[in-house]
């Protein structure tokens, strides 16, 4: 069946947002009196839901994890979210896909209101027919994508999930979309994406079109 609906991750796929995210983690660790981590360790936190990351760091202390999330989001809303920009080639890719009548959506683990505000600030909202993200009812990529498919009345058989981390690929597979596409310009790598079961892996935005026809 022909692909019609393309669901994109945000951080590491559409936007280069690492500076704001890493600065938000550093601020949070300072505020929470948690030891600072290396850049490579921090990079592994880009993509997964904050709930997953801080639960892993909390040593079972749910109250600490909840406070850390609030601290992170406060800083990110004030400063971090404004330090993002689209990757080279993304705007051209989105324009080409729209001209060919693909329906484009965002499915991100980032808070939904923050994702919408970031894309609006960058004047990119018009490229997407729906922007879906982390809510209290759905914070894993699997649940976010499931909500996205339902709300847009998109069938998995005509849909693809595109992202840079294993969470994106796993979310696509668990929702039985027709194709999962890993991208190498973000924060994951080829080994991670292959291990997750990505159908296709591409190195540049302009390679997407030739792999969805």
User: For residue 173, is pLDDT > 80?
Assistant: yes
Distance between CA atoms of residues 7 and 151, nearest Å: 13
CA distances from 3 to 97, 166, 180 (A): 12, 21, 11
Are the folds of 5-16+86-211 and 18-82 the same?
Answer: no
pLDDT of residue 134: 87
pLDDT of residue 1: 65
User: Per-residue pLDDT tens for 132-152?
Assistant: 998 877 778 999 999 999 999
pLDDT of residue 58: 94
User: For residue 86, is pLDDT > 90?
Assistant: yes
User: Per-residue pLDDT tens for 93-133?
Assistant: 999 999 999 999 999 999 999 999 999 999 999 999 999 99
User: For residue 88, is pLDDT > 70?
Assistant: yes
CA distances from 109 to 47, 96, 100, 168 (A): 7, 26, 27, 9
Q: Could you tell me the residue ranges of all domains in the chain?
A: 5-16+86-211, 18-82
Architecture of domain 5-16+86-211: 3-Layer(aba) Sandwich (3.40)
CA 192 to the chain's CA centroid: 15
According to CATH, what is the number of the domain 18-82? 1.10.150.240
């Amino acid at each position: 069946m022909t692909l019609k609906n393309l669901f994109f991750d945000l951080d590491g796929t559409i936007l280069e947002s690492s500076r704001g995210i890493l600065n938000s983690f550093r601020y949070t660790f300072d505020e929470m009196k948690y030891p600072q981590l290396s850049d490579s360790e921090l990079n592994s936190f880009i993509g997964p839901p904050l709930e997953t990351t801080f639960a892993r760091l909390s040593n079972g202390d749910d109250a600490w994890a909840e406070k850390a999330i609030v601290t992170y989001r406060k800083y990110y809303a004030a400063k971090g979210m404004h330090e993002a920009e689209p990757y080279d080639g993304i705007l051209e890719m989105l324009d080409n896909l729209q001209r060919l009548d693909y329906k484009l959506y965002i499915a991100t683990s980032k808070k939904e209101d923050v994702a919408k505000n970031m894309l609006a600030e960058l004047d990119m909202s018009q490229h997407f027919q729906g922007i879906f993200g982390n809510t209290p009812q759905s914070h894993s990529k699997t649940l976010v994508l499931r909500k996205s498919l339902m709300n847009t009345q998109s069938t998995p058989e005509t849909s693809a999930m595109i992202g840079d981390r294993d969470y994106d690929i796993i979310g696509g597979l668990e929702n039985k979309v027709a194709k999962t596409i890993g991208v190498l310009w973000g924060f994951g790598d080829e080994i991670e994406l292959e291990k997750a079961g990505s159908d296709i892996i591409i190195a540049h935005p302009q390679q997407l079109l030739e792999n969805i026809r």
